[in-house]
Amino acid sequence: MSGNTTLPKSRDGNFWEELVTVALLGTDRRPVPGLAAGQDAPVALLDAAAVETVRRRAGLRPAPAAARPEPAAEDARPPLPPAAARRLALLLADRPGTGSGGRRGTAPDLMELLPQWLASANARGYAAPSEALPALLDAARGRTDLRPAVLTFAGPRALWLARLNPDWRFALRAAPGGGTGLPDHRDADRARKLWEEGLFTERVALLAAMRAKEPDAARELLESTWATERAEDRLMFLDTLRTRLGAEDEPFLERSLTDRSRNVRATAAELLSALPGSALAARMAARAGSCVAVDHTRSGPVITVEPPHECDAGMERDGVVVKAPAGRGERSWWLGQLVEAAPLGSWSAWLGGRTPEEIVALPVADDWQGELHAAWCRAAVRQRDAGWSKALLGEPSVPQAAGPGAVSLAERAKLLATLGTDERSAWVAGFIAAHGLSEAFQLLGVCTVPWSPALGRAVVDALNIARDAGSYPWSFSGVMGLAERCLDPSEAARLDALTAVPEEVEGASPGAGGYWSEAFQRLVTTLRLRATMWQELSAP
Amino acid sequence: MVGPTFGDMTQQGVRWTAEQVLALAPDAASRKAGSKLGAAGPWSEAGSSDEGAVWGLCKGSGSKPYQTVIDVADAGGPAYKCSCPSRKFPCKHALGLLLLWAGGDTVVPRAQAPDWAEQWLSGRRQRAGARRTTTGAASGAAPGDPEAARRRAERRAERITAGATELEQRLTDLLRGGLAGAEQAGYGLWDEAAARMVDAQAPGLAARVRELGAVPGSGAGWPVRLLEECALLHLLDQGWLRRDRLPDGLAATVRARVGLAGSPEGPPVRDRWLVLAQYDTADARLTTRRIWLYGTGSGRTALLLSYGAAGRAPELSLPVGLAFDAEVSAYPGAGQLRGALGEWFSAPEPTERRPPGVSPAEATARYGDALRDDPWLDSVPVVLSRVIPTPDGDAWQLADADGDLALPLTPAARSRPRLWRLVALSGGAPVTVFGEVGHRGFTPLTAWPEGEGRAVGVC
């Protein structure tokens, strides 16, 4: 009997309790109440208990209602089209850990498509179906990378649910844009109260959310308590200024160059150097410029480098780290930092009005090229300078050793990220056409989804070449997986021909043809499924 | 049953939902495997017919694709055939193909069935037609030798009487010594008694006895629950031993409760039946599927039972939110809601209709009334309208949106993950909930959001 359900009072309030007591102890030890002469005691007890049981059940009444929960906030977004809602249920049903591991077969990996599906649904501004929220939250609980998209899609009701279920508490911490439990950024009083009294994580979340919406107000809030914050907290707070960094931040950052903490000073200097118009950037430009010049006295123009002889107090104040890591000369270490922090725009004037391409093409005297170009790469990434990035990347078809600067793959990926979408994918397509897929994974990772037609074709052609070369497809499983998620679905038709099992040629790995056919089939199936998914989401 | 009324079966609007298809899966692994095959890639030559057949070729690991064909237009639930070696039923290929079909016209267009599919389909339909004629003829004639059947029934009744008498003896012995001793005795005592009742061919008594064994370990308040269950078992024994003196309806209820399976004798009621809920319970040997129907014309509620051996899903699948035109015949016994599906007159179709609901107070009153006909009832089906799922400490209740009363959820219901679907659907606003209300509390099975929206299974 549920403890929460009220039972009717017996005519004799203690009658039932007495029956239970007698039953517990036994009729041999305790008399049955109201036993008639000649009755068998246990039978009389069972008779009476049966009557009481049915009577009690028949008289069941509802319990008093507890305090109703506060209703969830309205979600004004339009509902998903029915087909898209069904698809979501299917994607969510494909939870990891329910199937067998091993070979991937020809069927698409549904869970891998969930991030794209969510991004697309979010881009169209649909509301999540309420009944799907528990499964969405469970999925996000297991995969932190899904959380931002899931929480955006799940909307206010997910946060309402998370307050009722401790399993989903992560949603309250990680809400995107800081929507969760954070005061509205316009509610200055509540924001200030939370800033002054909140826990560290709440304060970071508040600051980050505010910075995204009102960068100046966020910085002012931070300045108001700056002097009293602990050093490690100051570092975290300062980091939030990376979002929407602007010239208005310069005075505060300039002051922070004298901070007690070395890490805070270094971060402030780094942020200032990303502002090409800042006083720090100008100081760095002057220092770097005095170290690098064009020498016209030789047969052709050559860049000469004269690294700084000392790291003076001014340099140190501007964030230059004095002590070089083991194995590096301190003069080249200082040079690298100066060039990295100097605005790239100042080099053209300094080096004879040359374009970035011309500057990068100039020979560098005395083995300084590697050091100088690497510093320019870091500067191009930090200052997000697409012109310099392009110059430093050079032609994609050029073999790496001959390229401008000894630029690693990781650095190339970073440089690519500063380019526009089209330029980026065109460059990677050119790289793959020239060098194949073995080094392309990292570069493909920075390309926009879906891949441009040229890039898609380059990848498919390269896969085709790899197959004809007789290797196994799992040597390319990383690129295959990316292709499943990133190729434009309209490429599916072109790929159909590749799903056939080819004749086994001499010298090929045994059975490779079948596995390739399977891998291409999965690719085509996944692309078709993605096309269907977009259609479903676009349906009125 | 494969009449012309099934002609619109495969129209776009009547294709099943993915959820409906996945309800057919025998286990979680099959669900997953089937979901993966629910995409166009491995399939070729897929098609469907107006008569409710779906077929396709699925590329597997071998050179020859598997041939999969499904007949969804069968009143007994869909029938499957697949050339794969899987022992799962339905196999992942059948599930995948149904999902593909549920997805829409483009991948599984209407077409003429190929020979390999047509052979099986026409064979099935011939057999079904023949079966229908024979059962139609048989219901008029007496099966076998009536005298022998009567003697068999008599012998069985004698065994049950002996079993009930023995059980009474055990109960009185127990209460003479006191329930406190039952806590130490554990399951052994009851398992042995349950086995005796199985021998006595009284499965209903056996099930009750087996449950008694679990009560002492069920936490605080167990003596109360054990006394209640002992008393109701005693009541059932006594009912059986004196069944001659009971009114006909109650006597039939006692027979059903003891475990004498009757046959659906009631006159067939034709109605438009709304599927309110479908859920499975399983033990080691058997999966039991319960399907609750609501007759939109008659206002009657009926329970369909369907069984599957371990590893197989019960064949009948009627997903929530569909309605169909069919005849249902009641099983005997006062207060018994169990029915059997008879002839169908339409395929199940999605519907916007909802059953009418009552308040929490009316719901408990309904349970009280039902006990008059069947004192052994643990719960009755009821639709609650305008209730709000409300946390109450560690427990949950459904609180009347327009009053101050609430039905607490049963402990089992509140630990189910699907409870959260109900809470999410409500979001603190009133919802309509179908479920079972009884002395343990309320078990939610299906919910409808406020305003528009389809039924959502929450069990």
Query: Within a domain: residue A503?
Result: yes
Per the CB < 8 A criterion, the answer to whether B9 and B52 are in contact is yes
Handedness of CA A438, A443, A445, A449 (dihedral sign): negative
Can you give the pLDDT at residue A178?
A: 42
Residue that finishes a domain, picked among A247, A275, A303: A275
Summarised one tens digit per residue, pLDDT across range A349-404 is 888 889 998 998 888 888 888 889 889 999 998 888 899 998 988 888 876 644 45
Q: Which of B299, B29, B180 is nearest to A23 (CA)?
A: B180
Domain shared by A425 and A532, yes or no? yes
Alpha carbon of A404: minimum distance to chain B alpha carbons (Å): 45
Per the CB < 8 A criterion, the answer to whether B398 and A96 are in contact is no
Domain shared by A218 and A311, yes or no? no
Q: Which amino acid is at B377?
A: L
Per the CB < 8 A criterion, the answer to whether A525 and A495 are in contact is no
Can you give the pLDDT at residue B3?
A: 33
Q: Does A62 touch chain B (CB under 8 A)?
A: yes
User: Using CA atoms, how far apart are residues A87 and B17, in angstroms rounded to an integer?
Assistant: 10
Q: Which residue of A has its CA nearest to B449?
A: A130
H-helix segments, A274-328: 279-289, 313-317
For residue B436, the surrounding DSSP H or E stretch is: strand B431-438
Domain shared by A270 and A286, yes or no? no
Q: What angle do CA A56, A57, A63 make, to 5 degrees?
A: 95
Q: Does A498 touch chain B (CB under 8 A)?
A: no
The contacts found for B263-266 with CB under 8 angstroms, 24 or more apart, are: B263/B331, B264/B329, B264/B330, B264/B331, B264/B339, B264/B340, B265/B329, B265/B330, B265/B331, B265/B332, B266/B329, B266/B330, B266/B331, B266/B332, B266/B339
Alpha carbon of B136: minimum distance to chain A alpha carbons (Å): 41
Domain shared by A245 and A316, yes or no? no
Q: Which of B101, B457, B438, B416 is nearest to B275 (CA)?
A: B457
Q: Does A57 touch chain B (CB under 8 A)?
A: yes
Alpha carbon of B35: minimum distance to chain A alpha carbons (Å): 7
Q: Do A1 and B173 touch (CB under 8 A)?
A: no
Residue A239 has φ and ψ, to the nearest 5°, of -60, -30
**Packing angle of the helix pair A262-273, A231-239 (nearest 10 deg):** 20
Domain shared by A434 and A490, yes or no? yes
Query: Within a domain: residue A173?
Result: no
Tokens 């100081």: give the residue. A283
Domain shared by A339 and A429, yes or no? no
Q: Which of B231, B399, B403 sits opposite A46 (nearest CB)?
A: B231
Alpha carbon of B65: minimum distance to chain A alpha carbons (Å): 13
Q: Does B42 touch chain A (CB under 8 A)?
A: yes
Summarised one tens digit per residue, pLDDT across range A290-339 is 999 888 888 888 899 999 998 988 898 888 888 888 888 889 999 999 99
Query: Within a domain: residue A371?
Result: yes
Alpha carbon of A41: minimum distance to chain B alpha carbons (Å): 8
Q: pTM surpassing 0.95?
A: no
Domain that residue A24 falls in: 15-58
Query: Within a domain: residue A78?
Result: no
Total domains, chain A: 4
Query: Within a domain: residue A511?
Result: yes
CA dihedral B145, B150, B152, B156 (to 10 degrees): 160
Tokens 């000649």: give the residue. A38
Q: Which residue of A has its CA nearest to B179?
A: A24
Summarised one tens digit per residue, pLDDT across range A97-123 is 444 444 556 677 777 889 989 999 999
Can you give the pLDDT at residue A95?
A: 57
3-state secondary structure B255-302: HHHHCCCCCCCCCCEEEEEEEEEEEEEECCCEEEEEEEEEECCCCCEE
Can you give the pLDDT at residue A33?
A: 87
> What's the full length of chain A, in residues?
540
Domain shared by A259 and A288, yes or no? no
Q: Is A319 left (phi over 0), alpha (psi -120 to 50) or beta?
A: left
Query: Within a domain: residue A113?
Result: no
Per the CB < 8 A criterion, the answer to whether B23 and B278 are in contact is yes
pLDDT per residue rounded down to tens, chain B (459 residues)? 333 333 333 333 366 777 777 777 777 777 778 877 877 777 888 888 877 788 988 887 777 888 899 887 765 667 888 888 887 778 888 888 888 887 765 678 888 888 888 888 888 777 766 655 554 444 444 556 788 888 988 999 999 999 999 999 999 999 998 988 777 766 677 888 888 898 889 999 999 998 888 888 888 889 999 999 999 999 999 999 999 999 999 999 999 999 987 888 889 999 999 999 999 888 777 888 999 999 999 999 999 998 887 767 787 888 888 899 999 999 988 888 999 998 888 888 888 889 999 999 999 999 999 999 999 999 999 999 999 999 998 899 999 999 999 999 998 888 888 899 999 999 999 999 999 999 999 999 999 998 888 899 888
Domain shared by A428 and A526, yes or no? yes
Q: Does A49 touch chain B (CB under 8 A)?
A: yes
Domain shared by A265 and A288, yes or no? no
Q: Does A10 touch chain B (CB under 8 A)?
A: no
Per the CB < 8 A criterion, the answer to whether A146 and A158 are in contact is no
Query: Within a domain: residue A220?
Result: yes
Q: Does B442 touch chain A (CB under 8 A)?
A: no
Q: Do B31 and A93 touch (CB under 8 A)?
A: yes
Q: Which amino acid is at A110?
A: L
Domain shared by A210 and A246, yes or no? yes
pLDDT per residue rounded down to tens, chain A (540 residues)? 444 444 444 455 689 999 999 999 999 999 998 888 788 999 999 999 999 999 999 999 999 999 999 999 888 899 999 889 988 988 887 655 444 444 556 677 777 889 989 999 999 999 999 999 999 999 998 888 888 899 999 999 999 999 999 899 888 875 544 444 555 656 778 788 888 888 787 788 888 888 888 889 889 999 999 988 888 889 989 988 988 888 899 999 999 998 888 889 989 998 998 888 899 999 999 999 999 988 888 888 889 999 999 898 889 888 888 888 888 888 999 999 999 999 998 898 888 889 998 998 888 888 888 889 889 999 998 888 899 998 988 888 876 644 455 567 888 888 898 888 889 999 999 999 888 888 888 888 888 888 988 899 899 888 888 888 877 888 888 888 888 889 988 888 888 777 777 666 666 667 777 788 888 888 888 888 888 888 889 876
Domain shared by A221 and A299, yes or no? no
Per the CB < 8 A criterion, the answer to whether A203 and A194 are in contact is yes
> What residues of A are in contact with residue B441 (Cβ under 8 Å)?
2, 4-5
Query: Within a domain: residue A336?
Result: yes
Domain shared by A231 and A260, yes or no? yes
Residue that finishes a domain, picked among A234, A256, A275: A275
User: Using CA atoms, how far apart are residues A520 and A512, in angstroms rounded to an integer?
Assistant: 12
